[in-house]
Amino acid sequence: MPGRRIIGVDMGGTKLLAGALDTDFYVHRRVQRSVSGLDQSAVLDITVDAVQEATELAGGTVEAVGFGIPSLIDRRTGRAVVAVNLPLFDVPFADVMAERLGLPVFVDNDANVAVLAEHRAGAARGCTHVVLLTIGTGIGGGLILDDRVYRGAVGSGAELGHMTIDLNGPPCQGNCPNHGCLESLASGTALAREALRLAQERGDSALARAASEGRDVAGPLITELAHDGDEAAREAIELIGTRLGVGIASLVNIFNPQVVVIGGGVVAAGDLLLEPARAEVARRSLPPSRDVVRIVPARFGAEAGMVGAAVLALDGLSGGGAGR
């Protein structure tokens, strides 16, 4: 018998993932779209198209849509104020989507919904103080403090990827005016940049051969080659993991979390990424916070944002979230 369905949408800097989930957060259908290189109008159009396809394939009655978007959000108005890696600027995102989809819409930052998913049913279940970092095109941050999602004064807090870890570091990407950000040094974009540098330096590596063949030297390929034993690919991931650990150490000192959850596509590298990060945290953070924190991969992996967006919508229907 068809049941209740919620559409969860995770919008990233390069791709969009929409899923039709039931109230136990089981994913029945998935729809993916590329959003790379699009302007704002095209991003909104393709988002509507993806949600409509997921709705048609849902196998039940769709009651609401939740969105996790990589944008600073003003929760007073529901507006997407500015996105670093996606062309969204000062758009009433929730209102626009609700009007075009004809469904209740709930929207939050992508990392906020990811930490909501992991806290509710994933790697942070049972914890009251949680830090989450989603590592993809950029780095998103989510916080659970005293068992509640922390969003700041107007809803744009917890931009953990834009903490400075190198005073003289490279300019950050997209619309961020800062430089030396964690995002600029430890994101999937940074991983690809370091891998290409190492490919040029290590002409006999599998990484160099892949680059010379015109393959896309990005996270999935780098991870594959690293798992196959290529030392250049492993070195690139280790460098990113070490930089990530520098940032996490500060977060451990500031928030004293029980767990730091690492999500996003780059987490597919597993312990090749996480072990250098853990080692750096052990060197840099203070006791007793250092002694209690765990650094773990997201249970929902790269789908944490999609699942969390569905959690947000379901909570909103029951009066526990903010929709438009």
- 151 in the same domain as 84: no
Exposed/middle/buried for residue 4 (C-beta within 10 Å: 0-12, 13-18, 19+): middle
- The answer to whether position 263 is within a domain reads yes
Quick one: 49 and 171 in the same domain?
A: no
User: What is d(CA 91, CA 79) in angstroms, rounded to the nearest whole number?
Assistant: 5
Classify residue 204 as exposed, middle or buried by CB count within 10 Å of its CB (0-12, 13-18, 19+): exposed
Within a domain: 111: yes
Asked if residue 287 belongs to a domain, the reply is yes
pTM of the model: 0.88
- Give the tens place of pLDDT for each residue, 13-32: 888 999 999 999 999 999 99
pLDDT single digits (tens) 36-55: 888 999 999 999 999 999 99
Residue with tokens 């600029």: 184
Residue 324 belongs to some domain of the structure: no
The reported pLDDT for the residue numbered 321 is 52
Q: Give the number of domains in the chain.
A: 2
Residues 136 and 264 in one domain: yes
Distance from C-alpha of 68 to C-alpha of 305, rounded to nearest angstrom: 6
Is residue 236 in some structural domain?
yes
Please tell me whether residues 94 and 205 are part of one structural domain.
no
Residue 295, number of CB atoms within 10 A of its CB? 21
144 shares a domain with 29: no
State whether 45 and 133 are in the same domain: no
- Provide the H-helix boundaries in 122-187: 182-186
Structural domain range at position 86: 3-115+303-317
Q: What is the mean pLDDT of residues 300-318?
A: 92
Token pair of 128, please? 């009251």
The answer, yes or no, to whether residue 301 has pLDDT greater than 90, is no
Nearest CA to 295 out of 276, 316, 320 is that of: 276
Specify the pLDDT at position 324: 42
Amino acid (one-letter) located at 164 = T
**Side chain identity, residue 273:** L
Nearest to 54 by CA among 306, 324, 312, 224: 306
Whether residue 52 is found in the same domain as residue 146: no
Is residue 285 domain-shared with residue 312, that is, in the same domain?
no
Q: Give the model confidence (pLDDT) of 183-234 as tens digits.
A: 999 999 999 999 999 999 999 999 999 999 999 999 999 999 999 999 999 9
Token look-up 């995770």 returns 10
**Domain identity same for 61 and 155:** no
263 φ, ψ (degrees, to nearest 5)? -120, -165
Instruction: Measure CA of the first residue to CA of the last residue in the chain; give whole Å.
Output: 30
> Residue 37 has what pLDDT?
87
Same domain, 109 and 144: no
Looking at the domain assignment, is residue 120 inside a domain?
no
Pair 168, 277 in one domain: yes
Q: Note whether 199 and 205 are within 8 A (CB).
A: yes
- Is residue 154 over pLDDT 90? no
Task: Indicate whether 322 belongs to any domain.
Answer: no
Pair 277, 248: CB distance under 8 Å: yes
CATH of the domain at 179: 3.30.420.40
pLDDT surpasses 50 at 322: no
Q: Do the domain assignments include residue 323?
A: no
> Do 202 and 289 share a structural domain?
yes
